[in-house]
Structure 1
């Protein structure tokens, strides 16, 4: 039995991750690949509790940037050990709504944590694990946040100032440029075009994986 593959969807608020995940699911089904879906932070009972702490805008005390960073990786560690790795070892594909690239962009770029700090925490919690394919949905913060606001009430991180999201996007773009496992999708285009591009990239990856497994 072949080991499964881990596909991650990334992007700032309003980039269209939820609908992109539906495209990935449909494409995997077309190629008869069994899969599970996850989200970050979250995905296990404990990790979901940590998600609530990170995302809630109703705390009676300040959530420090250091606490936010460590909680993100704590939740990720739980998800990796309890859901992602077991599924991959069973030959299932895993579709992730965010992974380590989010922390690199949001805490590394947005919060401006040093790359060495990010590397150290990631090495301890992830031990070199990384996705097989990441689709980064690139969109301007103005357009993305406009979409997010139209969905309803914003969470604690979504309420950050626009400069924060420009730093996040800049970091995403920088990291995507230097990693050939990250594919950038222009999420500012019309939905039909965006979904076609996602489907093409995922189908190509599936076919190359199936060929290499023969």
Structure 2
């Protein structure tokens, strides 16, 4: 059986990671076929999608910050059990749009709950499972938020509407996480044109895919 791989895409609002993933799927599918599984957090299954709807309404719903952190963690656990872990057990390549680093950045940093606190509650959910590669798409919050307002298809949710200071803390935390885990988390300059960002992400993915049969 080929080596399973778990890859995550991370970034602040407007970084373009979802657009990059969509662009790369058409290239990776002929290479990997049914071995390629793409998914997202929170979501990917009925329970996690239901939690997503609670977490990401258009307007503030009065949710407590710790409740928010716990709900993201619960959605993550169900996502792992239903999607990620079975796929990895079957030797597949899983690419997830967001994972635990999002909670560390948004709730730990942005909400000010503390990286260590968020890490502790997530350890119960992920049971030590970290990605083989995390691609972090870095963009200053001013640019990212302007992209969201100009290009976001559908609703702009309550996280998008947080003030600039919140989004600055999110980015600062992502950069801190990358510094602490530079072997796993690789940064791409997401201020570049989309085709260049796609090229950079493709290079990282293809390099990792070479290890699958090694």
TM above 0.5, one fold?
yes
Deviation at 1:4, TM superposition (A): 1.6
Matched, 1:161 2:163: yes
Q: Deviations over 1:43-80 (max 9, x none)?
A: 11000000000001346x51110111000000000000
**Where do residues 174-193 of structure 1 align in structure 2 (5 Å cutoff)?**
174-179=176-181, 180-193=183-196
Unaligned runs of 5+ in 1: none
Deviation at 1:13, TM superposition (A): 1.2
Unaligned runs of 5+ in 2: none
Partner of 1:35: 36
RMSD of aligned residue pairs (Cα, Å): 1.5
Aligned residues: 210
Distance 1:24 1:102 in 2: 21
Matched, 1:110 2:110: yes
Deviation at 1:207, TM superposition (A): 1.1
Spell out structure 1 runs of 4+ moving beyond 4 A: none
Tell me if structure 2 keeps the 8 A contact 1:23–1:199. Answer: no
Matched, 1:51 2:48: no
Partner of 1:195: 198
Distance 1:141 1:114 in 2: 20
Tell me if structure 1 keeps the 8 A contact 2:108–2:116. Answer: no
Distance 1:131 1:146 in 2: 30
Tell me if structure 1 keeps the 8 A contact 2:24–2:198. Answer: no
Deviation at 1:17, TM superposition (A): 1.3
- In the superposition, the TM-score normalised over structure 1's length comes to 0.93
